[in-house]
Structure 1
Amino acid sequence: MLKCRILCRIKSTFWNTSISRGHIDLPDHECNTSSLLHFELLSLDGLKCRNNYVAQTLDAYISALDLIFHVVPKQLRLFLQTSDQNQKFLFLYRSLNETTPLLNDAQHDPEDQDSPVKKATPLPIAQLLIVCAIRLMDPIAFTQIFPYINEFIAFLKLTDDPSQTGFYSGLVESTFAVTQFLAIYQWSKLSNKIGRRPVIMVGTFGVALSTMYFGLSSSLTDLLLSRAIGGIFGGTVSVVQSVVGEITDASNQAAAFPIYGLVWPIGGITGPFIGGVLSNPAEKYGSIFQNSVFSRHPYFLPCLVAGIIALSGVLIGYIYLEETLRKKTRNGSQDSFIDDHEPTLRELLSIPIIRALSISAFALNFNGTAFDVLFVLFCYTPIKDGGLAFSPSTIGFTLSSSGLISSAMQIFIMPVILKRIEASRIYNISIAAWPIVFAIIPILNVIARHGLVEGTGNLDVWSNVKLWTGILLVLAISKVGGMAYSVSLILTKSNVSTPAVLAVSNGVMSCSMSLARIISPALASSVFALSHRSPVFSNADERSIPKCEKGWSLQGAGVSRPSSWVEFKSN
């Protein structure tokens, strides 16, 4: 066996460090050449190499090794990441690429943070599902009014002009957003002091009471006051989002946030279904509800059911929800929450990434809220006036179908694309879908007009097929736009450093969203009322489709164009 002891210094473009004082054994070529290299650590400044290949010269040997590292670097990295047994190759790879002092075998931990192999943190599925169950109460309480809100306003006789119904419904929905806007940031700051759990419990309880109060309203004042109370307590939504951020990290958020994103679609299915089926029960179901509180207050039953569901969320949270705000010690005490540095609103908005997200969140929610308001109005309005003349039950069914579409996207599409496409790119693609939605909607009325059977007020079979195909297309595209909600949570979490900053950052995002919800319903419904009295929606035929589109584009311009002003790119 040929042995030689040398002092060498090897440099290459792949190796960032030097190898010195190497001890190389060159044995006979009796063994199989399949095991080309086998490295063992002798000391911090040396490598001992045993191979089964006869090297004619040391230069040829080093050149061959250098060639291997340049020709197959990707395969080598893959091998090192997937082979837990070959720790000696792993050491070689690390020794050539680390800038910090190396550890010896006794100190080396293959699972430490410097290892190329980094396992995903197990998803805290139990706590995530509890948070989602609590969060579900809010969209149920919020969306259950949509199928009957216009009918409720007509029942209270707030106006004798049907074309003004949209104005009052927009006013009621905007009131919720106004008070929520004022409360969100304060709830976020309070949660940094007393913890997330008590804030969430109080907020859910308040939403339950305000929902039941809404069903007992007998005047416009009652409607506005109940929605204002609901908005104040609904401001805790940003705290719930912070909890999701605190129980996940970058390795598992691609799975966690789509699950959390299911909350609103499921609530969007359940809420409208409750509102459409249980509203005005005395008229729908006869003697069971005659001469009862439900006949005097025909819209109390869906509010009561939604309120009871919200109260069950309080109970679930009280029993199972864990506190996620980090508890620090001071002088050995565990009794109080001690905040990380909590930035002011001015400091947050001075950060470009937070400012961009806030502006984009405003545009996104302007789109989404305007669509929710306008689509319900569009469905409720008579066909001759530019709508579809749907009943509250049909509107509830339509909105539930929308929730099913959104749920399917969250389950089957979101996790896949989040692993393959950068989050900021998904966000920009999603908000670009809204102008398409508003461009398609007026065509639905044209289909309904041409499919009307004279004397019956119903559509023929083929027109029904075309109409519902168009409705499903509109809803599907709108849910593509709605995917940006979940992605915005990921972008926010990935750009903050501490729980205190996460809470107030989510507060800022939610404030931007609430501000959009203040402006959007009133503006969109008012523009709809103006369009309703214009000749755009009357006497429609094939030649009037461009006019119809122009009328809806007026609304879509105010709703959709802000999305195009925001080009967000993550750092």
Structure 2
Amino acid sequence: MARPSHAGYCGDGDASCHQASSAIVMKPLDGSAVNANDSIVVVEPNPLPRQQLFLIWLIHASQGFQTTMLFPMLVFMVERYGVPGVGGRAIGWRAGLLASLFPLAQFCTSMMWGVVSDKTGRKPWLAFGCSVSAVSALLLGICTTYQGACYLRFFGGLLNGTLTVTKSALAELCDGTNQAKGFGILNLAWGIGSVTGPVISGLLAQPCAQYKIRNCPSILKEYPFLLPCVGAAIFSIAGVLASISFKETNPKFLSTSYNRISDLGQIEDQQRQSQQAESTEDHKEVELTSPSCKQKLIVLIAADERSATKHLMVSEACASAECGGSLSRKADEHHVSKSTRFSWIDRNVLMASLCYSMTGLIFIITDELFPMFGAASESVGGLGFSSSALGLILGEGGVVLCLYTLIFYPKVSRRLGPLKCFRIGILSTVPLWICFPVSSFLGNAPLLQWCLLLACMAARSVSACTCFTGVLILVSNSASPENMGAVTGLSHSCCSFFRAIGPAIGGLVWSYASGKHFFMHQFLAWDFVVLLSVSTYGLSFYLPPALTQPKRVTLRIEEPTEHPRS
């Protein structure tokens, strides 16, 4: 790449020329236009640590399983518990309330878990959260009352901050070059967990009645929902083992020095020579090249900078051991001490969190709505499907999600970027929510009905991966490294609140729609979700393009003390 002239960098209107004299600004060598907020032009993606990524995948998938495995058996559980005075339409809102308690509890504590993991590390709270999931799942399997199930779901979410911590840990493993792949795999983990959960619960719940087993074990007769809960507990125990093997990612608990850059001394010599030869110029150029680093940067260093410590702003892509260098990955304590406790909550954080929350609301409502719509009798506009049939449809969506995430999404993300992916993904859900209730008119053509449902579920998986992964990257990019856990906790807390009210809203809307008798009344609940999707698409235009790249990290270059030569 040819280096542009010095004038090309510090011409009129160049934002870098208006920085404080102590700042160091990086520019690309190819002379391309650079945004004032950008610090580096990425040449090629950095590889992600496979073992760490797999462990995060396993932990996150176990939480997806734990969160959604209740959906196919919710209605049957409420009926089994035999709540006095509950029947017909009242089952819908009670089932929605039970589903809402887990995310409602996480709304109360997610931000706390993020802040705690910022201060004490990610690893211990991953293991603790997975342990809580395993215990609460087993107790739910042997619960025989509606009130007991409500208590277990609430406290199981209250003491579990795993979702917040896994997102924070992944954000620390990724940089601007590989975010799409990293968060795509995280979304794949959630998708697989949230699909296998309903599938397994649909297939294993009430085995004696569902499969008409003659000599069914008495324990399964007494506890018909035990098997799905045991499956969730086993998955959570696997998450505990993965947490124990996981390596800490919080920068505060990592070694802060890296391998020395061989030509750092040359850089310092070039700077001193340039200052002596051209003392009248405001800025000097220094070329930073390291054999082990895949980036090559032009650094504009203020000529009047005389302090022993200089702050070098780079992206996380170059803050790795393979880049080398005596760089300290430490936050500027002077600036941190001056900041207020909640100074990290800015407009970008709030808007990204709101879009993430609205996306979560949309999909949690449909997660709740589809099983209710599918299990409802045809007389009230439903499909009259069994829990196993619903589980198979959801399983097909999981297969599509795997294929799309692993094969197609990285290419789509590289071409469009996270912001466009989010917008396209959320807008593409609008026709899907209309097509789902259309299937209720195809009861006399079961083959066509199944084809439509499978196509809709496959398209839903594609849309979910595209918009969820995009908005997760936007949330991550709105956070500074030292506040990653807090921002992730805030966004997950907001999303948990929306996910808490989502099932209740879905249950209430379906209860209202199923009680009507006019033509196409079953469309009412789905039309409500259409309005939410359109509203979220509109909100996406308040997200700035700057969120497509991660915030820069402050690294300190410690200059050696000069000794007089003998």
TM over 0.5: yes
Asked which structure has the greater CA Rg, the reply is: 1
Tell me the equivalent position of 1:486: 469
Check whether the contact 2:96–2:507 (CA below 8 A) recurs between aligned residues.
yes
* Whole-Å separation in 2 of the counterparts to 1:281 and 1:146: 17
Check whether the contact 2:513–2:522 (CA below 8 A) recurs between aligned residues.
no
1:530 is the counterpart of 2:456: no
Check whether the contact 1:199–1:236 (CA below 8 A) recurs between aligned residues.
yes
Matching residue's letter, 1:534: K
Tell me the equivalent position of 2:531: 557
Check whether the contact 2:63–2:162 (CA below 8 A) recurs between aligned residues.
no
Cα deviation 1:328-355 (Å, max 9, x = unaligned): 699x9xxxx9997497774343x12111
Check whether the contact 1:353–1:570 (CA below 8 A) recurs between aligned residues.
no
Check whether the contact 1:491–1:570 (CA below 8 A) recurs between aligned residues.
no
Tell me the equivalent position of 2:14: none
Check whether the contact 1:130–1:321 (CA below 8 A) recurs between aligned residues.
yes
Tell me the equivalent position of 2:343: 347
Shift in Å, 1:263: 0.4
* Whole-Å separation in 2 of the counterparts to 1:116 and 1:314: 39
- Among residues 544, 547, 562, which one is paired with 1:569 in the alignment? 544
Most deviating of 550-559 and 428-437: 550-559
- Aligned residue runs from structure 1 range 33-432, under 5 A: 118-158=43-83, 159-283=85-209, 284=211, 286=213, 289-291=216-218, 293-318=219-244, 320-327=245-252, 341=336, 346-349=342-345, 351-432=346-427
Shift in Å, 1:488: 1.9
Matching residue's letter, 1:445: S
How many pairs align? 440
Tell me the equivalent position of 2:552: none
Shift in Å, 1:118: 4.0
Check whether the contact 2:129–2:159 (CA below 8 A) recurs between aligned residues.
yes
Shift in Å, 1:555: 5.3
Cα deviation 1:64-101 (Å, max 9, x = unaligned): xxxxxxxxxxxxxxxxxxxxxxxxxxxxx96999xxxx
Matching residue's letter, 2:107: F
* SS of corresponding position for 2:72: coil
* Whole-Å separation in 2 of the counterparts to 1:276 and 1:187: 32
Check whether the contact 1:150–1:165 (CA below 8 A) recurs between aligned residues.
yes
* Whole-Å separation in 2 of the counterparts to 1:489 and 1:556: 22
1:473 is the counterpart of 2:455: yes
* Whole-Å separation in 1 of the counterparts to 2:340 and 2:457: 39
Check whether the contact 1:269–1:404 (CA below 8 A) recurs between aligned residues.
no
* Whole-Å separation in 2 of the counterparts to 1:329 and 1:196: 12
Check whether the contact 1:433–1:480 (CA below 8 A) recurs between aligned residues.
no
1:496 is the counterpart of 2:479: yes
Q: Kindly tell me: are residues 146 and 115 of structure 1, through their superposed partners in 2, closer, same or farther at Cα, counting changes over 3 Å?
A: closer
Check whether the contact 1:127–1:322 (CA below 8 A) recurs between aligned residues.
yes
- Aligned residue runs from structure 1 range 22-37, under 5 A: none
Matching residue's letter, 1:515: F
* Whole-Å separation in 1 of the counterparts to 2:118 and 2:525: 47
Q: Kindly tell me: are residues 285 and 310 of structure 1, through their superposed partners in 2, closer, same or farther at Cα, counting changes over 3 Å?
A: farther
| Structure 2 gaps, min length 5 | 9-27, 33-38, 258-329, 547-566
Q: Kindly tell me: are residues 250 and 442 of structure 1, through their superposed partners in 2, closer, same or farther at Cα, counting changes over 3 Å?
A: same
* Whole-Å separation in 2 of the counterparts to 1:150 and 1:237: 26
Shift in Å, 1:275: 0.7
- Taking only the aligned residue pairs, the percentage that are identical comes to 23
* Whole-Å separation in 2 of the counterparts to 1:143 and 1:116: 40
Q: Which has the higher contact order (CA 8 A, sep 6+)?
A: 2
Matching residue's letter, 1:147: P
Shift in Å, 1:514: 0.5
* Whole-Å separation in 1 of the counterparts to 2:439 and 2:82: 30
* Whole-Å separation in 1 of the counterparts to 2:60 and 2:498: 21
Matching residue's letter, 2:397: S
